[in-house]
Structures are given as C-alpha cells and as structure tokens.
A and B are shown apart, each in its own frame.
Chain A
Amino acid sequence: MNNLLFIDPHAHMTSRTTDDYEAMRNAGVVALIEPAFWLGQPRTEPGTFKDYYSSLVGWERFRAGQFGIRHYCTIGLNSRESNNEPLAEQVMELLPLFAAKEGVVGIGEIGYDDQTAAEDKYFRLQLELARELELPVQIHTPHRDKKRGTSRSMDVCVEHGIDPGMVIIDHNNEETVKEVLERGFWAAFSIYPKTKMGNERMAQIVRQYGPDRIMVNSACDWGISQPLAVPMTAALMLERGIPVEHIRAVTYSNALAAFGQSGQIREEDWMNAMDVDQREKFNGNSILRGGQEPKVEKRNPNVIE
C-alpha cells in the first residue's frame, strides 16, 4: 500500500500468536511498542512482575524479531495493580532494574483507572522516575470518567515538571483530543473494536485536526482486538482521501519521533537490519523446534509437514 511502513506504538504481544506477528509483518508493520500492563487479572507476587518485565525485554523481543518486527517496550506499574499498595511498593523497587535497559522507550503504561489515592501516588512516583531517566511517558487514560481523568493526568504531568512533548496520552477519543493537542501533548488513539475507537471515526479526526502529534495504535491484547488495526486504519484513511503524508505521520513517523526521544528506537534498527531479520527468521535456526522450515509458499493449506 504505497510502500507504507507502520509502527504500532501500543500492542500487548505476549497475548498474541505467531500468526499475528506474521500477519502484521506482511501488512507492513516493522516495529511495535509493548507497554507493560496487567494480564487480565491482578498479580499477587512481585516475582511475577519481575518475570513479566523480563519477558518483555527478553523472549518477546526475540519472538518478534523472528518475524522481522522490532520489538520495544515501556516499563511501568499499571494503574489497576497500583491499588494493591504492599505489592506496588515492591514493584516500584523493580522498575529501575528494567527502565534503563536497551529497547525500553519509556515509562508506561501508567496513569489512572479508578482514580484512587493509591493510583495517584504511584503515577506520581513513576513520573519522577521518568524525569530522572529522561524517558518519555505513555499514559493510559481511564475507561470510566475518561474526560476528567485525561485532564487530570495532564495536570499532574505539568505539576511534576514533565515537558508535554515527552508525554503520549493514550486511548483518546473525540471528547479528549482537543485539549490534549492544545496543551502540547501527543495524542494516541487505540483502534479497538467496540470499546475505544473505530477507524472511520479515526479518519474523521485526522481530517479535522490534521496529522500533527497524533498517532494510531491497536492496543491489541488478550481481549477481542485487532493486531492489524494500524495498517487497516491506514488503508481506510487512504480510501477516505486522507493525504498519504498525513497517513505516514499518524501510523509511523509521529510514534518514532515521540518515543525516539528515549534514544532507544531508531529507524536504522529496522532499515539496516532487515537482512539479519530475514536470516534469523528463515534459516530455521531461530525457532527452536527441530526441522521447522520457513513457509515461503503454502501449497495445500491442510497439509502440516
């Protein structure tokens, strides 16, 4: 599609299959960012957080590379699990172990869910960590009481002296985008079926506000979600007559510019490394199952060799 390449700046790939990686790469996704989040039910031990963060910088990064996709992540304690304070205290001690690592492009996704006092406390502590490490912040805005929660998230960032240009406000909609852009923050939109945004609405937003500081993501996870949301939205925007340069901005370059401020994600990572990726993927060394060969061409879809 017009040789467009895509970055999905919000995708929870630990919940997805290799088919998803393959489809994303075939659709032009070259890089993605996996924010640390919860797993659908609350964890009860700090060790499970440690292993989760470790898998984000380890196995999941490797797994994505097998499909020619560069995997980055943001590290943080999410708002929901901030409410278990004794646990949250221990998780906060883990964060510095991971936040400064290679390929960690920000602190995230953090922010508010129910907007409790505990959520507020750990949101602020993590903003301080982001400031100390000079990392971008990826902010999850609440599902409920969204508009006020979004405003409040930005107020707190400003209160802590964080430059709005270092903050990506996520899960926006028509009701929140205006204020986010006016205040100089990045506005991310999750094209997530039913609950967040649809891509017809997304095309309308880009038409109305233009492409500056707007980015699209899939937020795909363990729920009913669409890992191809970024390329699909690009295709729809093209059909709806949005200029290609605007599409490129909201599906690729803006994410690169925002998270690139970490110094941990660069276009050369995938532009120069594609040969290596292909070899890693296709020489059969990488997926450590004896005898698996690359599926270059499928002859009979029912045959499993």
Chain B
Amino acid sequence: MTTDFAIEPIKTLMRRWLRERLSPRGNEWLNGKLAQLAADPSDRNLFLAFGAVPRFVGKEPLSLTPHDLADADGLRKGWNPAAWTTDQAARVLLLLSVPHDHPEKYLRTLNGLFAAAEVNELTALYLSLPLLPHPELHRARASEGFRTNMNVVFNAIALDNPYPAEYLDEGAWNQMVLKTIFIGSPLHRIYGLDQRTNLSLARTLSDFAHERWAAGRPVPYELWRCIGPFIDEGFLPDVERVFDTGNETEQQAIALACSRSRNNAAYELLKRRRPDLAEKISNGEFTWEKLT
C-alpha cells in the first residue's frame, strides 16, 4: 500500500503557500534560513531555525482551498494538510530541506529534533511523517509517537495521515485504532481505516465494547465500522444488544456495520430489526459519511 512521491515538487508547493501567506519579514526570515541550510546544513542551523519558526512565520491556519488540497493529494497520495498552520508547514519544509542522501545521518538528525521537541514541534514532526524521505525508516518512530499522552501529538500521527496505513504492521495499526477510540478521537479521520481493518482488531474492539458496557459508559459508535466486515454468529449478540439498547445514532452505526458483513445472518438481522435503515443503506441513501 506504499506510495512513491517526489520531494522537490512538494517543497515548491509549500513554499508557494507560505510565500502567499507570510509577512514580508516572515518570508525574508524563511528564505534566509533555507539559504543558510543549503549552504551549511548543520544540525545546529536546523535546530535553531526549527525552534524559532513560530516567532517569524506565525501560527495562522493555512486555510487551503479544495484546489490546493487536490494539488497536495496529487503530489503525495493521502497527504492532507487541510488543518495545517503556517508554522507547521514551515517546519516540515525545513525538514525536507536538509540533505538526506545518508539515511543513517538523516535519521540521527531527526532523532535529535524529536528528543528535545516541545509540543508544537512534536506535532509538526509527526505531521511530516508521510513526506519524509526514507519512509521505511520511520516505522518505530510512528509507533513511539502514538504512545504519547498528548492528544495533539497523537492526532498528528493518527488522523488525516497516510503514513500509518502504509507502513505500520497489523499489531501497531490495531493499537493505534484502539487508542484513537479510547481517547475519543474521530475514527473516520484515520486514513485507510476500512482497508486495514482486520479480524484481530474486530475482536479487540468487541472486548472493548463489553468493558464499556460493564462500566456503564458509552461505546463510541464508530467502533462498529471496523467490526462490520467480520460480523459472524460470534458477534451477533453484540449486534442484538445495540439494536435493543442503543440510541438512534448507535443503531444507525450497527446497521451500517451489518450491511458490510460477509455473513448473511448479520444482514438478515438488520432487515428484521431495522427494515427502514436496511433499505436506505442498500439504495445508497445512508452511508458512514452521512453518519459522521
């Protein structure tokens, strides 16, 4: 599921976005730093520039147009900077502007930045994952990242980011999805969610739902999306329970899940319990996109 992409056009695009948005002082500073890194790409120059970014380029939303976002996706499939800010774009641009011909050296430089990063720096570093050269070298970093306790940092890796779906193995992927649900982040913003769901994840999520029920706490309805394709007789009691006790949103979610099941029993149950939803789903009127 990995994607090939070229770094130079991505840098050119980000420079254009920043040029159009930064103050003259901000542009002058950024151009100066990029020139300095081109002449002397030392760690010291990178670290100081990386840290000082917000002071000079601000932290304003990029507010990209649908056209800009299409440009981004065209250069690197899945890259979605819709929520990026000026400081994040400038920091990622700096990361792409130091030499990376020697993977080990490049990784050492990145590790140095990660080790001393503050919250906003960490966020920018993880946002950069899908654009970094040598993508296969950053798997451990991504897994390390979602062990964080800071939701902004976690979301930078897990949401709107194609890297995890492309490079994480099943165990790490499942941990990420589970933690996304656990902390209440929106599951539908995980790139490749439907493609990478799996039986092991479905079982874990069912266990999680049972724990929540035992504790008398709500079960996030998006969880059923990952379980849907694997619903078989074993999962049917869960489905019955949601039809029996769930609110309308939860019932809609379990209905959508049943419609994705490869097992006929789930679909029969859906038709029996909520014929109205079964019909809307089968004729395409009701989808996960509509629900979330």
Contact = CB atoms under 8 A, between A and B. Distances in A.
Interface of A: 50, 53-54, 57-59, 61-62, 94, 96-98, 100-103, 263, 280, 283-286, 288, 290-291
Contacts of B118: 54, 57-58, 61, 101-103
A58 B150 CA distance: 9
Contacts of B54: 102
Contact of B52 (A57, A100, A103, A288): A100
The list of the 5 closest CB pairs from A to B, nearest first, reads A57-B118, A290-B182, A291-B217, A62-B150, A97-B116
Interface string B162-189: 0000000000000000010011110000
Given A53-B116, A58-B122, A288 B151 contact: yes
B interface secondary structure, majority: helix
16 contacts: A57-B117, A58-B119, A62-B119, A96-B48, A100-B48, A100-B52, A101-B51, A101-B121, A102-B118, A280-B151, A285-B151, A285-B184, A285-B185, A288-B151, A290-B183, A291-B212
B149 interface: yes
A280 B179 CA distance: 17
B148 to A, nearest CB: 8
B109 to A, nearest CB: 13
Contacts of B117: 54, 57-58
A285 B150 CA distance: 9
Contacts of A285: 151, 183-185
A283 B115 contact: no
Nearest to B215: A291
A269 to B, nearest CB: 11
Q: Which of A98, A283, A286 has the most CB of B within 10 A?
A: A286
Contact of B149 (A96, A283, A284, A288): A288
A290 to B, nearest CB: 4
B217 A263 contact: no
Nearest to B87: A102
Contacts of B84: none
Contacts of A283: 184
Contacts of B183: 285, 288, 290
B120 interface: yes
B208 to A, nearest CB: 8
Contact of A100 (B51, B115, B119): B51
Contacts of B150: 58-59, 62, 288
B55 interface: yes
